Amino acid sequence: MKFSLSAFFFTIVGATLALAAPATNLTSTIDKEFSITAIHSGQESVHLHSLYVDQSGHVLIVGETKVPGLDIHHGFRLKDGQLSHGNNPAHLDKDGALTFESTQSAPLEGFKAKPVIGTGVESYNIYLKDYDYPVACPVPNTTQVYQIYYGKGNGNDCIWFVPWATLP
């Protein structure tokens, strides 16, 4: 995988500025649709890759592999602390995997967004509750496909990352 110097530079500058911004800028609503990219993972199959929602509602990061049936990566919204994709609110399944399918569990609440300043685009770091970050865990029997969890994940060399929301 090739990284451009400008992408690397903007990632470093954006991260530095985001970490320096005061926590009082947290919001629980972003009034526009956005996409989410994984940053700060330290793993090239995860870092700077978009989050996708598959047909069953699970959230994936797909490296260089193409997976049929993935929804477009934009379509996320944040309103009153609830993350949604399309009309479906976020849930955690019994294993802690982030999903946007209707389940027996209550919708996941407590998402917050912190504005990232200096990236050249309107963007936010997305947190769950008290700055919890998700992990990307390799999906067994696949190449460069990762499922998103909150908590310990599936135990398969999971990698934490910061969800970075960018608006068009």
Mean pLDDT, the chain, rounded, equals 82
Number of domains in the chain: 1
Which amino acid, residue 103? T
For residue 100, what are the CA distances in angstroms to 16, 23, 37? 31, 28, 17
Q: Is residue 104 part of a domain?
A: yes
Q: Is residue 132 part of a domain?
A: yes
Q: Is residue 35 part of a domain?
A: yes
Rounded to whole angstroms, the Cα distance separating 119 from 146 reads: 26
Q: Can you give the pTM of this predicted structure? A: 0.80
Q: Which residue has the tokens 């982030």?
A: 98
- What pLDDT score does 29 carry? 95
Condensed to tens digits (0 to 9), the pLDDT of residues 79-136 reads 999 999 988 999 998 888 999 987 667 899 999 999 999 889 999 999 998 778 999 9
Q: Is residue 30 part of a domain?
A: yes
Q: Is residue 146 part of a domain?
A: yes
Rounded to whole angstroms, the Cα distance separating 159 from 40 reads: 10
HSE, CB side, 13 Å, CA atoms: give it for residue 155.
1
CATH number (domain holding residue 43): 2.80.10
Is residue 75 within 8 Å of 86, Cβ to Cβ? yes
The phi and psi torsions of 150 (rounded to 5 degrees) equal: -115, 130
Strand spans (E) along the chain: 30-39, 51-53, 59-62, 74-79, 82-85, 88-89, 91-92, 98-99, 111-116, 123-128, 135-138, 145-149, 159-160, 162-166
- The domain in which residue 95 lies consists of 25-108+124-166
Q: Is residue 10 part of a domain?
A: no
Condensed to tens digits (0 to 9), the pLDDT of residues 27-37 reads 999 989 999 99
Tokens found for residue 53 = 């929602």
Q: Is the pLDDT of residue 16 over 60?
A: no
Q: Is residue 14 part of a domain?
A: no
Q: Is residue 20 part of a domain?
A: no
